[in-house]
């Protein structure tokens, strides 16, 4: 048996926390997160993320590194000018000029990063242990003279000599630092090492923890840090960051709230925050990611769907609405009768017992062919099983798009009811222009929201066939559609028109789109969609 914590049985997390159960979060998405390959956030993007972090109740926001350059300093100034409730900080190396630059940006505090391991002290900066200790104390005193909140990070602390790390942080705290920070800079540490190091630093004063996920242990090391006495956690939204990333801030927040009733953030803002960061960084949300992944509250299995319809807590540890999400019941090869019936009810389709059986068989057949069964697929199957003619309300008649040599433009001709409508639009690209043309042609009928847009190439080469999946909502109804074509613009428009037709057809058929579903699940908690 592995003897964790070196023979120390450890302390239950709940007992290790402060008597008032306080844990705070420091978000470093705008600094450490931006250091991930390929990410560059402009000032407006950083400001919007900072606003979202503040709305989410994050106590500390590291806005960037003032030493990076004037462009970065302007960005930090834009964040400090937002009058946020959060403490806004700048990353500072162990040199006086970095602190001066941070002060010039108007930050509330600095995180002073100094070398802690011999590898960093001797090889990286060419210094000695004694020089690092002396310089750190002087920098802390200088920062405190400028009324800054000060945290000192020993870089590569998890590979530092523990006796030296204690000496370094003791001197920093004696010089006036508000806290020290244990940094597993390269994601090297195991839980035993983390527990030992944080325990010894916590004995000196307030301590934070900064973990990376190179061994897949970032969250585990946060947990043992808290058990060892840390009360502030560094993290990034969606876990982005250098190499394998940092611990995911939203995962720390929900785990503390769910497991220990400790509130560190406004939970129902987390998904909005995750989407904002995903869009700004162009890093999609992993579907299997806790809290923010598309599959986190999605059920396809017949057994799970049936159980969820009977009791919405059956297969979920916490409510999706608690983190700003919706429960989703999707159809595929694992779909069961209850899930298919619920989806049909959602779309106001009345079916007999025999028809449900036939529809389930067809849904499973599609799923067996490795095909996603969208709402449009389900409705088409139901129409075929029931022998109903589809009465389209919106139909694409013609599309022309151009993007060469100027502003991308598109013109479109639609049949809407008994009438034809023609419109044009411009956009950032041909797809955007075509979508704007559709909206212009439909006018007030186009009051649906495009919730998601996803493109997959399903063949190789320059003439690749792509599949476009869109999800649109109108009122309390959501429809997902997938179409395939070698022309991405036409494919996108056809998917959008198909979704709009499905949404609008309910209204024109005389059935109110706001009528209640027969599914015995809270309407605010469930979305029957495909992705």
Confidence of residue 135 (pLDDT cuts 50, 70, 90): very high
What's the pLDDT tens digit per position in 196-237? 999 999 999 999 999 999 999 999 999 999 999 999 999 999
Least confident window among 7-21, 145-159, 279-293 = 7-21
Q: Which tops the pLDDT comparison, 170 or 387?
A: 170
| d(C-alpha 436, C-alpha 443), whole Å | 10
Domains in the chain and their CATH numbers?
Answer: 20-281 (3.20.20.70), 298-390 (no CATH), 394-508 (3.30.160.270)
Q: For the residues 84-97, what does the mean pLDDT come to? A: 97
pLDDT exceeds cutoff 70 at 508: no
Least confident window among 47-56, 100-109, 263-272, 403-412 = 403-412
Would you say the C-alpha torsion 168, 170, 174, 179 has a positive or negative sign? positive
Mean pLDDT over the full length of the chain: 85
Q: For the residues 72-93, what does the mean pLDDT come to? A: 96
Q: Which segment, 159-163, 338-342, 462-466, 489-493, is predicted with the most confidence on average?
A: 159-163
pLDDT exceeds cutoff 90 at 391: no
Q: For the residues 485-501, what does the mean pLDDT come to? A: 87
pLDDT exceeds cutoff 50 at 531: no
Candidates 8, 54, 47, 391; CA nearest to 194 is 8
Coil vs helix vs strand at 61: strand
Q: Which segment, 192-206, 327-341, 357-371, is predicted with the most confidence on average?
A: 192-206
Q: Which tops the pLDDT comparison, 150 or 313?
A: 150
CB 158 within 8 A of CB 185: yes
Kindly list the strands in the beta sheet with 526-527, ordered across the sheet, starting from the edge strand earlier in the chain.
298-299, 327-329, 526-527
Count of other CB atoms within 10 angstroms of residue 273: 26
Sorted by sequence, the CB contacts under 8 Å of residue 384 that are 6+ apart come out as: 362
**Residue whose token pair is 């017992």:** 353
User: pLDDT value at position 462?
Assistant: 57
pLDDT exceeds cutoff 60 at 183: yes
pLDDT exceeds cutoff 90 at 392: no
pTM above 0.85, yes or no: no
User: pLDDT value at position 411?
Assistant: 92
CB 349 within 8 A of CB 379: yes
What's the pLDDT tens digit per position in 103-129? 999 999 999 999 999 999 999 999 999
Percent of the chain residues past pLDDT 70, beyond the cut? 84
| d(C-alpha 60, C-alpha 84), whole Å | 10
User: pLDDT value at position 203?
Assistant: 97
Least confident window among 201-205, 437-441, 468-472 = 468-472
pLDDT exceeds cutoff 60 at 58: yes
Confidence of residue 521 (pLDDT cuts 50, 70, 90): very low
Could you tell me the two tokens for 295? 């599959």
CA dihedral 137, 139, 143, 144 (to 10 degrees): 10
Q: For the residues 489-507, what does the mean pLDDT come to? A: 82
| d(C-alpha 121, C-alpha 118), whole Å | 5
Q: Which tops the pLDDT comparison, 350 or 264?
A: 264
pLDDT exceeds cutoff 80 at 308: no
Q: How long a stretch of residues is the chain?
A: 531
Residue ranges with strand state E in 327-485: 327-329, 394-402, 409-416, 419-426, 449-457, 466-474, 477-485
Confidence of residue 506 (pLDDT cuts 50, 70, 90): low
Q: For the residues 343-358, what does the mean pLDDT come to? A: 82
CB 331 within 8 A of CB 378: yes
Q: For the residues 473-502, what does the mean pLDDT come to? A: 83
**Residue whose token pair is 């694409």:** 396
User: pLDDT value at position 511?
Assistant: 38
From its phi and psi, is residue 329 left (phi > 0), alpha (psi between -120 and 50) or beta? Answer: beta
Would you say the C-alpha torsion 243, 195, 207, 250 has a positive or negative sign? positive
Q: What percentage of the chain's residues is helix, strand, coil (to nearest 5)?
A: 45, 20, 35
């Amino acid at each position: 048996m592995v003897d964790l914590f070196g023979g120390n049985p450890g302390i239950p997390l709940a007992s290790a926390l402060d008597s008032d159960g306080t844990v705070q979060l420091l978000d470093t998405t705008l600094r450490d997160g931006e250091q991930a390959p390929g990410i560059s956030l402009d000032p407006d993007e950083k400001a919007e993320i900072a606003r979202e972090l503040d709305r989410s109740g994050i106590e500390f926001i590291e806005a960037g590194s003032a030493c990076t350059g004037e462009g970065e300093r302007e960005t930090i100034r834009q964040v400090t000018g937002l009058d946020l409730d959060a403490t806004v900080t700048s990353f500072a190396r162990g040199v006086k000029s970095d602190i001066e630059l941070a002060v010039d940006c108007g930050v509330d505090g600095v995180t002073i990063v100094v070398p802690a391991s011999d590898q960093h002290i001797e090889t990286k900066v060419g210094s000695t242990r004694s020089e690092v200790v002396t310089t750190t104390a002087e920098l802390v005193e200088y920062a405190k003279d400028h009324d800054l909140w000060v945290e000192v990070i020993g870089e590569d602390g998890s590979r530092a000599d523990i006796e030296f790390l204690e000496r370094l942080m003791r001197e920093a705290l004696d010089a006036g630092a508000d806290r020290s920070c244990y940094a597993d800079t390269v994601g090297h540490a195991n839980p035993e090492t983390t527990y030992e190091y944080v325990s010894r630093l916590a004995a000196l004063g307030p301590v934070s923890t900064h973990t990376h996920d190179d061994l897949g242990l970032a969250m585990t090391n946060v947990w043992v840090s808290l058990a060892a006495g840390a009360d502030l956690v560094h993290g990034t939204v969606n876990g982005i960051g250098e190499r394998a990333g940092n611990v995911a801030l939203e995962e720390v927040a929900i785990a503390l709230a769910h497991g220990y009733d400790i509130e560190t953030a406004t939970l129902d803002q987390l998904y909005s925050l995750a989407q904002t960061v995903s869009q700004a960084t162009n890093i999609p949300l992993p579907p299997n990611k806790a809290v923010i992944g598309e599959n986190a509250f999605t059920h396809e299995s017949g057994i799970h769907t049936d159980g969820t319809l009977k009791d919405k807590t059956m297969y979920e540890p916490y409510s999706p609405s608690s983190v700003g999400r919706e429960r989703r019941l999707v159809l595929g090869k694992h779909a069961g009768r209850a899930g298919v019936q619920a989806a049909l009810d959602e779309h106001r389709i009345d079916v007999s017992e025999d028809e449900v059986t036939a529809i389930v068989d067809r849904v499973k057949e599609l799923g067996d062919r490795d095909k996603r069964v969208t709402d449009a697929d389900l409705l088409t199957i139901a129409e075929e099983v029931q022998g109903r003619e589809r009465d389209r309300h919106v139909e694409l008649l013609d599309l022309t798009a151009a993007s060469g040599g100027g502003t991308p433009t598109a013109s479109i001709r639609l049949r809407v009811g008994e009438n034809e409508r023609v419109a044009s639009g411009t956009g950032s690209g041909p797809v955007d222009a075509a979508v704007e043309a559709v909206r212009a042609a439909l006018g007030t009928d186009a009051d649906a929201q495009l919730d998601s847009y996803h493109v997959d190439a399903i063949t190789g080469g320059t003439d690749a066939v792509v599949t476009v999946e869109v999800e649109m909502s109108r009122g309390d109804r959501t429809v997902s559609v997938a179409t395939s074509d070698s022309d991405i613009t036409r494919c996108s428009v056809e998917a959008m028109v198909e979704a709009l037709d499905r949404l609008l057809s309910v209204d024109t058929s005389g059935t109110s789109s706001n009528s209640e579903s027969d599914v015995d699940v809270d309407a605010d908690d469930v979305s029957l969609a495909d992705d």
